[in-house]
Structure 1
Amino acid sequence: MAPQLQTAPPPDARSVRAVAATSLTAALLLLLAALSPFGAAALAVPPGAVTVHDTTGTVDSTGLSEDLAQVDFRREVDLVVLVVDVTDHGHSSAEDTALNDTVRDVAQEDLTELLSADGDHFADGTVIIALDPDNRFLGTYAGEDVKLSDDGFSAVQDAMRGDARDADWEATLEAGAEKYAALLDRPWWQHPVSLVAAAVAACAAAATGIGILGLRRGARRRVDEALPRYGEVLSRREITDSAARTLPATSPYAQAVLRQHETYTEQISTAERLHADLPVEQDRTWGWGFSSEQRRIAHEFSSTVESLDEAEGEIIAAADLLHRIGQWRAAWDRELEPLRDSLTQLDELTADPGADGASPEEEAALAELRALGEDASAEMDSLTARLEADEIDPDSALEALDTLTRELSAAVARLQGHRINHLAEDEEEAEVLREAAEEVEDSDYRTLRGRRHVLESPAGQDQFWNLSPVLWYASWRHESTGALDIYRNPPSSSGSTSGYSGGGFSGAGSSSRF
């Protein structure tokens, strides 16, 4: 009988369930307290007046006014929307206070009703949402009696930023008005700090109850799922070892499989050791799985068995292919799959040159890639037919696939270089595009050719190579375009700019960029 894992006496089942029930009840009460409507303002008051002042002709003033009139505040306010171009008022878009100064100028020169009696602040009861579409400014301003905190003004601008970046100007202004209405006179219990505190307390209480049972349940489930697979692995071990022993020693592809078999043998020993530490099912107490050591054993055993299960299938398939026996045709199709995927992607790539078009150099490189793809497709069909007719040995066929992969990889590298030259305006932008390659994840092709490449290729080699080069290029093109757009238009921080360039005016509010 396998040795038994010595554990501390498990907690009584009833006491554990009682703790869990108590914790969950506490969590529910805390959430109800946080979300209950006590103290909520009873009134939902639409604006007393809505004014849309658009000097740029950007928005539908009539439709926007009607929509804004439906926004509910907790008190009556006069809602004003200003759509302006700061440069029309003599301000430079490079100045962070440009929109603040423009809103002040509009109030002083065109809409004096927006000012207080002393002219130093905005009028009481006034809420102003401002937008400069061309120069990418957002602003929020208010009279002293309805002003928000600095963080509140920033939160309104944050709510507008997404729609502004999509150039949906009416939605931008509506989002600003709705957010302002939600923040003005907000009850303390709806403040994020209060909600976060309640949520943290509720989550902590819930985690206590759920975690006690969830961790135990997860450990036991891993073991229950891994044990049958472990039995299957052991039952096939002799076949797996035999397949490894019969691999042709002179084959470079077999060398990669033999290295995998060494790892497989080491993992068998690990699985046997972990299995010996697991109590047999009839001796596994209700509380097994509570301790961190028990959970570690369960997790390590499960992951080791999963790795063994995958490895044995690959070792047997490799032997079948290299000897052209058993299920060798399925193993050969797995070797073809990366190149087939590249050829499929090549058709899509040809149909979509990208939003920025393609330079003549790119067009030429793409034509070269298309020609290579046509040759590769014909070559793969020919290799398959010759293998089936026993006119070529598997190693030579695999070498031919590697040659096709190298040729396509080299063509993709040239195409990538032309793409970078076409898009980048300077060396810094070129570097952004090159670095985007690091964000492209390789597809998980578990092939003999991939394992040989990993085994034989020196670390840090400069020459580009990928099992599915065109598929990789399509992913890189998507990643690099996004990276370049972010580099050219970096997201604005949520920090707002308050204040005005001239003295004598101190109206509440701030602006930021989108």
Structure 2
Amino acid sequence: MTVTAPAPTLSQRTGTDIARWRAAVGLFALMLTLLGGTVASLVATAAPAHAVPPTEITLEDTAGVIYEPQLREQVQQIDFYEPTHVVVFTERGTGTSNFNARVLAYAREHRPEWISPDGQKWADGLYIFALDPDGRHVGTYFGEDRKVSTEQQGQIQDATKDLLRDAQWTDAAVKGVEEGAALINRPWYRHPLLYGGLGLAAVVGGGTAMSVVANRREKRRRGQADLQRGRDAFSSVTMDLEATELNARTVPEGSRYGALVLERYRTFHDRYVELARQADTLSTVDPQTLHRKEPRETARRFADEAQALDRLDDVVAHASTFLNRQTGWQAGWDVQTEPLRDDLQRIADGEAAAPTGSTDEARAPLESFRREAETELDRLGAQLEAESITPDEALDRLSGLRTRLTGLLEQYAAASTAGFATSEEERSTLQTAFDASRRTTPRAHPGSILDTVYEPGHFWTMVAFSRGYSSGRERVETARSAASSSSSSTGYGSSGGSFSGSGSSSRF
């Protein structure tokens, strides 16, 4: 007679599954332990890595964009694995030139000690970080005993490009040296791939949890920053509340601009009461819950509204003082002209430069306007002092100047787009970036009556233009890089002869 064993019960099956899961976890832990022990043993017997500051720091700032005290102080604190002579080199050029060849040419003419005795390589112990702020090149070059792979050269250059696009030249140079120090002659046991097996196992066992923890931590950090931003602004509004109400009563309603400011102020009290209610609610929020969307969004909205009210009370104060010609009205007028004067200074500093293919011709109207506007602002100030024009008339003429600049920037954006974009898709990408930046770039000068009575984006500023162009160009270049196998240049051109030193450059 055949006896059939009874089917296992649910509890028995569950117990078996748990036993198998525990066995698998135990085996996994054993393998991880053995692997970790092997790596630890190898590391323990390896020669120790040294941490040494640069043996020498040479700055060749022919472009005049590096703040030397900051560079030397910060680079001196960077540790290399081997004694290394650090060179930071800057030169102004064009986007179409061979930057590698230019760096080599400069070294041959002015710094032959950067080149090996046989003239074929870069000198031993040398690391050069180079940049061209006009041609928008960044390069890295290495002595034969300090060279890294082409891929790692690209990593170093890429790490600096956000800073370079924001024209933070000194910070970018420090970052380039820091990234180079992390890779030059890195010991084998410091290489990330060595721990690939351990890393993969860790990812399988707990990577998701770590990612969640890191993500929550970052969200909490942003939420706490918004909360503090809002509390600071709300505190400022509260401290000035009585003065703001008094100033609002004295803003002349007969002034067209005064009436517009008062229209913006009409809901100030209701907004403040609502803001106070939000502040009370947020005071009970546990900071550890700010990784959640709802409290985090509430904190962000609270901060934005508090800052908006803080800006508005500044405008009310300046409107009262300037439009009534009260004592100190000159300072109020300075506040009104500050946004335009900032734009004019940025034009003078060359911040409108863009690779349009006809940059000088396209920039000429901006330069001409700058000179005319500076003269007009001085004239307006004198006429206000002489009381030959009213504050409203002065603001009308100031508005006219800013409107003209907006039109010129629109023309310059069109010229820059036509010169840089090579397809309709690229043109659309640049235009979208320009439009977004024009609407959303924060107003940097609180107290401006014109920026308060007109909607965001009514006047286009140099900061918004530069941000829009940089953002759009970055998107276009990212798309181009994805379509190209490589955007890095490693050759020294025909002028380099047989020179074959390690190094490359790329655009930012």
What TM-score results when the alignment is normalised by the length of structure 2? 0.49
Q: Kindly indicate whether structure 1 or structure 2 has the higher relative contact order, using CA contacts under 8 Å at least 6 residues apart.
A: 1
What TM-score results when the alignment is normalised by the length of structure 1? 0.49
